[in-house]
Amino acid sequence: MLHYTAIVTREGRYWVAVYADAPGCQTQATSESSLRVAAQEALDGWLEAHLADERVPPAPRTRVRTPRGARAWRVEVQPTLAMAIQVRRARLAAGLSRSQLARKAGVSVDDIAELEKPGDGVTVGILARVARALGGRLDVRLEQERRSA
């Protein structure tokens, strides 16, 4: 699962979340619970803006240094957004344009464009064909969420 780390601090009466791997992405709230929602929305918006501007968001580091007095929250990227980011990264890493990848995968350029933007309009079949064309494979999992007792 693709995730970014939010560094969370308390500043006066506000809780603040800053993403080290998402420059300029930050938010604040008056409670920890409302900060969790705001942190997710801020990250989603920041990532979507990169995709809309035809950019690739920076990849998150596996380790983020947490300053003294701060906490690190793992914020998962929504599945359709994570898919769009991963397809764009893989296409660019392969040095392919959208039309080149479409030809190689046997799908339309519009299908590739749909894959590279967040949304629900893509079929698993198209995604599997694109994964093969990029020299990879598609791994789809449905996992039970862990619930605390």
Q: In the prediction, which pLDDT does 42 show?
A: 98
What percent of the chain has pLDDT above 90?
A: 66
Q: Is 128 left (phi over 0), alpha (psi -120 to 50) or beta?
A: alpha
> How many CA within 13 A on the CB side of residue 17?
26
> Residues with Cβ < 8 Å from 140, sequence gap 6 or more?
124
pLDDT tens per residue across span 42-90:
999 999 999 999 999 999 988 888 999 999 999 999 888 888 999 999 9
pLDDT tens per residue across span 100-111:
999 999 999 999
CATH number of 3-76: 3.30.160.250
- pTM equals 0.82
Indicate where the chain has its CATH 3.30.160.250 domain(s).
Answer: 3-76
Indicate where the chain has its CATH 1.10.260.40 domain(s).
Answer: 79-133
From the candidate CATH numbers 1.10.260.40, 3.30.750.24, 3.30.1240.10, 3.30.365.10, the one assigned to the domain spanning 79-133: 1.10.260.40
**Ramachandran angles phi, psi of 113, nearest 5°:** -60, -40
131 neighbors 138 (Cβ within 8 angstroms): yes
